[in-house]
Structure 1
Amino acid sequence: PHALEITTTLNGKVMQSVKTDDMVHGVPQMISYFSQWYKLQPGDMITTGSPPGVGFGRDPKVFMKAGDLIEVDISKIGKLSNTLVAQN
């Protein structure tokens, strides 16, 4: 899990791009740490914080809205895609 590229896109535009070897804690360390308290199952996701590029830090600021497509792709692993819906 070293040097995998993580890319976040919003409606097809790259918002964030980082490699796992740039993270403060390595993926194996995080899995080991969380496994002490949680029984991890296939398909579970561990969120790790946010690399540079968040919409609030941009000029002009970018906010997600209903209908937007947010995708997170990890090289050699796969892509998670979600379309945002309005809160009822």
Structure 2
Amino acid sequence: MKASKNIPAVLVLTCASVVAFAQTPPSGKTRQQVQQELVQARHDGIIPTTKNDYPPSAATVARNQDVHAVTKHPGERVPSQADLHDTAK
């Protein structure tokens, strides 16, 4: 009988904590900032990588940079920074 009296109190506390959690303001990076960091990482050759090669080796980074240059920067000598194709969605 005593346990059944505590159930409403537990439910109220649980609901209150969920509401308080849902109202916390967002902190950290925005979605756009994270997407731009991913674009820059692809541009720098850091990703993609495999779970067996993490952190990526120098050979993987070099290969990723070569693939990126061929597919995204045809005709350019050395792409040094993210450009229009990198920011397009």
| TM-score using structure 1 length | 0.19
Higher relative contact order, structure no. (Cα contacts within 8 Å, ≥ 6 residues apart)? 1
Query: Which protein is richer in strand relative to its size?
Result: 1
Query: Which protein is richer in helix relative to its size?
Result: 2
| TM-score using structure 2 length | 0.19
